[in-house]
Structure 1
Amino acid sequence: MTSTTSTPRRAAAAAFIGTTIEFYDFYIYAFAAALVLGQLFFPSENPMLSTMAAFGSFAVGFIARPFAGMVFGHLGDRIGRKKMLLVTIVLMGVATTCIGLLPTYAQAGIWAPIGLIFLRLLQGISVGGEWGGAVLMASEHAPKGRKVFFASFAQWGSPAGLLLALIAFRCISEMEQDTLMSWGWRIPFLLSGVLMIVGLAIRFGVPESPEFAEVKDNDQTSANPVLEVLTKGWKTIIFAALAVTIGSGGFFFTNTFMITYVTQYQGIAKTTILNCLFLVTILQFLSQPCSALLAERLGEGRFLKWVATLCIIVPYPMFLLVQTGNLFYMTAGITLAVVLLAALYAVIAGYMAEAFAARVRYSGISISYQLGSGLTGGLTPMIGTFLAGYFAGEWWPLAAFFSVLALMSLIGVQGLAHQRIVNRASDAVSPLQGVAP
C-alpha cells in the first residue's frame, strides 16, 4: 500500500484535529472539577472536601486509561488504527454530551455523582484508546526521518483542545453565579456533540496506516499483541511510562490544580487565572511544533534529557512569580514551566513509538503512555490540593512535588534511550523488531 505525497499531511492534520476534540472534552471536565462540579455533585460544608471529591471523579478517567490502552491497543494491532479512532471519538462525544445533560445532586441525590463518575469513566476509556492511534496514524504515514515531528501533531491537539476549553469556560465565567451554577456550566459539555460530528467527517477521509497495512498484508499481525509486548518489551514500557510523567502530570498541575491553588489559597479571582492560562496556552501552542523541529536537529534523546533536567528546576521561579498575584508575572512564571514540559510532551510520542515494532506498537505506546499519565495526571490535582491544605501558606512543597515528577521523566528518558540502543542491537535476531527481548 502506498501513500500519495499529500497523505502524510492529511494524516497529521486529522491526528491534530481529532486529538484537539478529544482533549477539549477531557479538559472541560478538568476545569469544571476545579470550578463547579464539587458544589453541584459533591456538596459539603468543607469546600476542600468538595473539591477533593470532584478531583477524585476527575482521577477516575485516568484510572480507566491504562485498561483502555490495553483493549484498544490489542484491537488496533489486530484490526487497524483507523477503526479504533472512529470508535473513540464517538465514545468521547457521547459521554461528554451526556455530562451536560446530567441532573445535579440537588435534583437526583446520590444518582447524580454515580452518573457523573460513570460518564467520566467512559471519557477515560475513550482517551485511553485515542492517543496511541492518533500518534501512529501521524507517524506511520510520515516520510522517512520525520516520524517524531509528524507524531508531534497528535500532541499539538492537547494545547489546541485546552485553548477551546479555556475559551468556553472564560465565556461562561462572565455569567452571574446563579446562572452559571444553574445551567451555564452545561454549555461546554453540550458543544462536544457538534465537535464529534466534525471529527468523524475528517477521520473518515484518511486511509489506514501503511505500516499496519503492510503487517496485515504479510500476515504478520500478532495473535495477542498486549501479551507479546508485556512479556518481551516490559522494560521499554516501564521507561516510556516514566518518561511521560512530567508531560502529563505537569500539565494538570499547571492547568487544573493551579486554578484551585490561586483562587482558594491566594485569593486571586477566577477570571485572572483563566486569562493567565489562556495566554500561557497560546504560547504553548506556538512553541510545541518549534520544539519538535529543534529536537530533530539536536537529536531527540539529547533534547529530551535537557528539557527534563530543566523541568526539575523550573517550579521554583514559577511559584515565586505566581505569588505576586500580578497577571504579567503569573503568566511569565507558568509559561516558563509549561513551555518546557510541553517541549518534552511534543517529542516523547514519536520517540517512544520508534521503540516498538509495528505489529505491537499500538499496544506498546498505549500501555506505556496511559500507565504513566494514569498514575500521575489523575492524581496530581488531588496530591496538590492535599499539599496546599496541609502546608497552608507554603509553596515549596508544591514546587518539590513538581520537581519529583520531572525527575521521574528524566529517569525514564535515560532508560528509554538505553533501551532503544539495546533494541537496535537485537533487531537482526528478534522477530519483534524494536521490542526489547
Structure 2
Amino acid sequence: MTQPNDALNAAPDRGRPLRAANAAWIGSALEYYDFFIYGTSAALVFGVVFFPSSDPLLGTLLAIATYGVGYLARPVGALVLGHFGDRFGRKRILLATVLMMGASTFLVGCLPGYAQIGAVAPVLLVFLRLLQGFSAGAEQSGANSISLENAAPNHRAFVTSFTLVGTQAGQILATAVFIPIATLPKDDLYSWGWRIPFWLSAVVVLIAYFIRRGITETPVFETAATTGTLTRAPLKVLFADHWHAVIRVICAALIAAPSTVFTVYALSYAVNQKHLDATTMLVVGVLANVAALVSIPLWARLSDRIGRKPVFIGGSIGIAITMLAYLWAISIGNYPLIFVFGILMFGIVYTATSAVWPAFYGEMFPTSVRLSGTAFGTQIGFAISGFVPTIAAAVAGNSDYAWLIVAGIIAVVVLINIVAVATGRETYRTPMAELGLTKQERALQQVGRRA
C-alpha cells in the first residue's frame, strides 16, 4: 500500500517538471517585464512627467521612491496570496498574479502627467505601483513552489532556477524595448514615447496567462490535499512553528539590493549625475542579463552537486567586490570598464545567488506553508532592498565619492546575507518529504515509518 510519504518522495514524471519550469519561466519573464519597465521609467522619465521640480535631483529622487513604494505592497500580497496558495493551490495564484500585474502596468501607460491633472497624477501612479507590488508578492514564490515540488530530487535547484532565468529574460525585454524609446527627442519621450512599453505588456501578459492555464497542481500539494495534511490557517502555522526560517529568508533576501542598485540607482547615477549616454547604459543592462541567462542554470547545477551554501556565499562575496568596481567605472566615465564590470557583477557573479535562492528558500519550509513562507520572507527582504536605491541616492547625493558610499552600503547588505545563509541548514540532499519539518514533526514522521 502506498503511503503519503512515498508519494512525496517519488520522482515526478518527466513531463510535469518541464511544463512547470516552462510556465515559471515564461510567466516570470512576462511578469517582470512589467516590473522592470517601471524601474527604467522611474530612473529616466517619471521625474519629469510626474514630479516636475526646479531641482532635477529632487524630481529623480521622488520618482525612484515610487519604484520602492511597490515593494511596500509585496509583503501584503505575500501574506494574502500566499495564504490562498497554500490553502487552495499554486496554479490559481499564478493566474491571478499575472493578470493583476498586466492590468496595473497597462494603466500606468494611460496615466496623464502632472501637467494635465496636477497632484492627482503621482497619486494614481503610486496606487498602480502598489497594485504591481501586491501581485508580485506571490509571483516568484508561486512559480518556485510549483517548480520545486515537480522537480526530481537531484535537480531541484536547476528546475527552480528557470524562474530566475525568466526574470532576467523579462529585464532584457524591458530594457531592449526601452532602448529605441530612450533615443526619441525629449518632447516625444516625455509625452507619448515612454507609454509604449507599458501598453505592450497587454500582449505579453495574455500569452503568459494562457500558458499558465495549461499547468496542473504538483504531486506534493495533491497528496497533502488528499491526506488532509493541509492547514486551514497557513499563516498561523507559519509564524508559530517556522518563524526562524522566515527571519532567515528575510535576511538572506537582502541580496536583492545589488539588483535594485544596478537596475535603478546606477542607471540614474550614470545618466543624471555623470551625464553618460543613457542608451549605452541600457545596453550594459541587456548584455549583463544575456550573460545571466547562461550563468544561472550553470550555478544551479553546481549547487545541486556541491550544496546551496557554498555557491550562495561565494556569489555574495563576489558581489561586494564587483559592485565596487562597477560603480567606480561609472564614476570615472570609462565605458569599456563599465561594460566589463557591469556584465561581470550582474551577469555572472550576482547570478550565483539568483540560481540558488529559489530552491534554498523553498527547502526551508514544508508543503503546507511553503508558498506563504517563501513569499513573505522574500518580500520583506525585497521590500527593504527596493528602498536601497532611494537610500543610496539620499545618502550619497552629488558627492564626488557617491560611488564609494553606495558600494559601502552594498557591502553591509552582503554581510547580513552571508551570516543568514552560513548559519542555515544545508538542504540539497534532504528528501522532499522532510523539507522544512520541525524536530517534533520529524519525530512523528519516524514513528509513522516504524509503524
| Alignment match, 2:289 | 281
Q: Return the letter of the residue paired with 1:67.
A: V
What's the % identity of the aligned pairs?
33
* Alpha-carbon displacement from aligned partner over 1:190-223 (angstroms, at most 9, x marks no partner): 0111011100110011111221111111111112
Deviates more, 1:268-277 or 1:351-360: 268-277
Q: 1:429 deviation in Å? A: 2.3
| Alignment match, 2:380 | 371
* Alpha-carbon displacement from aligned partner over 1:292-344 (angstroms, at most 9, x marks no partner): 11222221122212222222333232233333423321011122221212210
| Alignment match, 1:49 | 58
How many correspondences in the alignment?
A: 429
| Alignment match, 1:308 | 316
Q: Return the letter of the residue paired with 1:63.
A: L
Does structure 2 conserve the Cα–Cα contact (< 8 Å) formed by 1:239 and 1:411? no
1-structure distance, mates of 2:60, 2:354: 27
Q: Return the letter of the residue paired with 1:19.
A: S
Deviates more, 1:290-299 or 1:201-210: 290-299
* Alpha-carbon displacement from aligned partner over 1:138-165 (angstroms, at most 9, x marks no partner): 1111112211211111111111010000
2-structure distance, mates of 1:54, 1:265: 15
1-structure distance, mates of 2:392, 2:47: 16
| Alignment match, 1:98 | 107
| Alignment match, 2:442 | 428
**Of 391, 401, 417, the match for 2:409:** 401
Is 1:337 the counterpart of 2:345? The answer is yes
2-structure distance, mates of 1:423, 1:347: 17
| Alignment match, 1:198 | 207
* Alpha-carbon displacement from aligned partner over 1:382-413 (angstroms, at most 9, x marks no partner): 01211331634442111111111111210111
Q: Cα RMSD (Å) of the superposition?
A: 1.9
Does structure 2 conserve the Cα–Cα contact (< 8 Å) formed by 1:105 and 1:113? yes
Does structure 1 conserve the Cα–Cα contact (< 8 Å) formed by 2:155 and 2:301? no
1-structure distance, mates of 2:43, 2:140: 24
Is 1:268 the counterpart of 2:282? The answer is no
| Alignment match, 2:371 | 362
Within 5 A, what are the aligned runs for 1:101-112? 101-112=110-121
Does structure 1 conserve the Cα–Cα contact (< 8 Å) formed by 2:360 and 2:427? no
Q: 1:424 deviation in Å? A: 6.5
Does structure 2 conserve the Cα–Cα contact (< 8 Å) formed by 1:240 and 1:416? no
2-structure distance, mates of 1:359, 1:231: 13
Does structure 1 conserve the Cα–Cα contact (< 8 Å) formed by 2:33 and 2:170? yes
| Alignment match, 2:397 | 389
Q: Return the letter of the residue paired with 1:60.
A: V
Q: 1:31 deviation in Å? A: 0.3
Q: 1:18 deviation in Å? A: 0.2
Does structure 1 conserve the Cα–Cα contact (< 8 Å) formed by 2:258 and 2:319? no
Alpha carbons of structure 1 residues 238 and 419: separation in structure 2 relative to 1, 3 Å: farther
| Alignment match, 1:26 | 35
Q: Return the letter of the residue paired with 1:48.
A: L
Q: Secondary structure at the match of 1:43?
A: coil
1-structure distance, mates of 2:273, 2:398: 12
Is 1:320 the counterpart of 2:334? The answer is no
2-structure distance, mates of 1:274, 1:60: 23
1-structure distance, mates of 2:364, 2:269: 38
| Alignment match, 1:136 | 145
2-structure distance, mates of 1:282, 1:316: 22
1-structure distance, mates of 2:239, 2:131: 25
Is 1:167 the counterpart of 2:181? The answer is no
Q: 1:423 deviation in Å? A: 5.7
Q: 1:430 deviation in Å? A: 5.9
2-structure distance, mates of 1:308, 1:193: 36
2-structure distance, mates of 1:103, 1:275: 29
Q: 1:7 deviation in Å? A: 1.6
Deviates more, 1:388-397 or 1:118-127: 388-397
* Alpha-carbon displacement from aligned partner over 1:17-36 (angstroms, at most 9, x marks no partner): 00001110000000000000
1-structure distance, mates of 2:288, 2:327: 15
Q: Secondary structure at the match of 1:429?
A: helix
Is 1:352 the counterpart of 2:352? The answer is no
2-structure distance, mates of 1:265, 1:7: 49
Q: Return the letter of the residue paired with 2:442.
A: A
Q: Secondary structure at the match of 1:191?
A: helix
Q: Secondary structure at the match of 1:208?
A: coil
Alpha carbons of structure 1 residues 417 and 318: separation in structure 2 relative to 1, 3 Å: farther
Alpha carbons of structure 1 residues 366 and 28: separation in structure 2 relative to 1, 3 Å: same
Q: Return the letter of the residue paired with 1:42.
A: F
